[in-house]
Amino acid sequence: MAESQPVFPDILGSITGGARFNVNAAQVALAVRPRNVRAGRPFEVILLIQNAADSDLDVTAILQLPQDAKKKPNRFIAKAERLVVGLRPAEVGYVVLPVTSLPDTAISDIYKVGVSVDVKVAGKPKRIRANDGGGAVELDMLNPETVEKMNDLKKLTFSTSKRGLMGTVLEVPFNVLSAQIGQLVDLKAQWVSLWKISDLRDERVLLARYGDALQTTLLPRLKRELVYAPLYQTTEDRFRQAGYTLQAAEAHYITKLLVYILEMAAPEENTTDYLSDERYNVALALKRFQRGETAQPVLPGWCKAMLKAIDTNPSAAEQPASVLAGHVYDELLRDAMRLGFQMVGTATGENMGSEEDIHDYIEKWITKLNAGQAVLRFSDVYLPLLLGGVIIYDRAVLKTEKVGEMLTELSRYIKSSYAEVSAEDEMVYSITEQIIDRAFLKFGYRA
């Protein structure tokens, strides 16, 4: 294994200013929101939790409500006094337990609310955060929603004070002010996740954790007969939503390129393919990483996204086809477009632009696809996805596929569409005819 190990950000410490209480493999801190509560109004008890281990945690939080300052019974009411949450390895988040004070609750500045914390750890955990913290938090490495939630939490005063000698009950002070009439808010107990390993922009962690799942479970399931149908259906649906109804041959060749990308992840040994690219060989990257030959593995985008999906739901490794056709689909398209541009440039001798040009094109193209409007036209569909699929038409061949017939079908459709091609699309149309003709000549097919 490569010696360089990632440092997990100290999200909790960034919020509390460093304060924390260690309970088994969890780090916790307690706050109320707002600190000054109007009698008759609701408030929230917030337990911030940071998993300091590489194992799953089950955390049970139980409210311990204060007694009224004038000894009146049941002046504080909670819909849910107990909440059990499961944290993934290294995950950070917070429990929200709403409490309502009655209008005649005694005014006082000596109230304290407690939360009993019980932590159960799965397996034999390895500590990945020190008792006093972790790595620095780089806000530009977090998504905007997480940053917004963290900034809201930083406004609170967190406590790590423990009540009594036995057990683990954190408590935090708050004030009750004079009653105020207002509309009641129906607050619900909840768990809010702030950060997971999958948010770490360092694939080494996920690869070290899920490398075996990739090698033994996921990669063997990337067979063309298993992934083709769901990818074909998603391709049809997504392009239709973007305003382009694909012909059967068009959908076939786009899907074929996606399948080819996936099969490049674990190519058969002792086979050579002049169109292959080592950047898409996941098995090779994993082998080099496990041997310690590389500190930072190079992985295709779809694989990075799949690792994050497995971190969220380990069963994703057992059913990759549905995940790839779902929320990993865009990343698979990005990989296919990069390879498609490379292959079209090689096949035609045309300059496809710089890496930066291609990156910008792909991102704008993905935005078009997700716009939900009729924005795609001929060039968007053919360059580079469909053309890439035609170039590798004789690879990833399905058992039921009739290669010559599908090429003929596409060729006839292209010829019949000439009158509808705009001036903007003429160059791509010309390249398309050229690439299809070369495919025919290679094996002697004729339209």
pLDDT tens-digit readout, 78-101: 989 999 999 999 999 999 999 999
Mean pLDDT of 224-232: 98
Mean pLDDT of 347-366: 96
pLDDT band, residue 274 (cuts 50/70/90)? low
> What pLDDT is recorded for position 95?
98
Residue 256 forms part of a structural domain: yes
pLDDT band, residue 139 (cuts 50/70/90)? confident
Asked if 309 and 439 sit in the same domain, the reply is: yes
> What pLDDT is recorded for position 275?
73
> What pLDDT is recorded for position 112?
97
Mean pLDDT of 413-428: 94
For the chain, the farthest-separated pair of C-alpha atoms sits apart, in whole angstroms, at 95
Rounded alpha-carbon distances, angstroms, from residue 230 to 76, 206, 252, 255, 398: 53, 26, 12, 9, 14
Asked if 173 and 215 sit in the same domain, the reply is: no
For a pLDDT cut of 70, what percent of the chain falls above it? 95
pLDDT at 374 over 90: no
Domain tally, the chain: 2
Q: What is the pLDDT of residues 203-214, one digit of tens each?
A: 888 998 899 999
> What pLDDT is recorded for position 190?
95
Asked if 65 and 186 sit in the same domain, the reply is: yes
Mean pLDDT of 209-233: 96
Residue 144 forms part of a structural domain: yes
- Residue 107, classified by CB atoms within 10 Å of its CB into exposed (0-12), middle (13-18) or buried (19+), is middle
> What pLDDT is recorded for position 1?
38
Strands 36-38, 169-177: pairing is: parallel
Q: 179, 199, 219: which is the final residue of a domain? A: 199
Lowest mean per-residue pLDDT among 35-39, 174-178, 229-233, 292-296: 292-296
Q: What is the pLDDT of residues 395-406, one digit of tens each?
A: 999 999 999 999
Residue 403 forms part of a structural domain: yes
Instruction: Round the average pLDDT of the chain to a whole number and report it.
Output: 93
Mean pLDDT of 63-92: 95
Asked if 412 and 327 sit in the same domain, the reply is: yes
Strands 169-177, 108-121: pairing is: antiparallel
Q: What is the pLDDT of residues 241-268, one digit of tens each?
A: 999 999 999 999 999 999 999 999 999 8
Select the more confidently predicted residue: 186 or 241. Answer: 241
Asked if 310 and 277 sit in the same domain, the reply is: yes
Distance of CA 447 to the CA centre of its chain: 44
Q: 199, 219, 238: which is the final residue of a domain? A: 199
In degrees and rounded to multiples of 5, residue 310 shows phi and psi of: -65, -35
Asked if 221 and 147 sit in the same domain, the reply is: no
Q: 199, 224, 242: which is the final residue of a domain? A: 199
**Amino acid at the residue 393:** Y
Domain range for 128 is 11-199
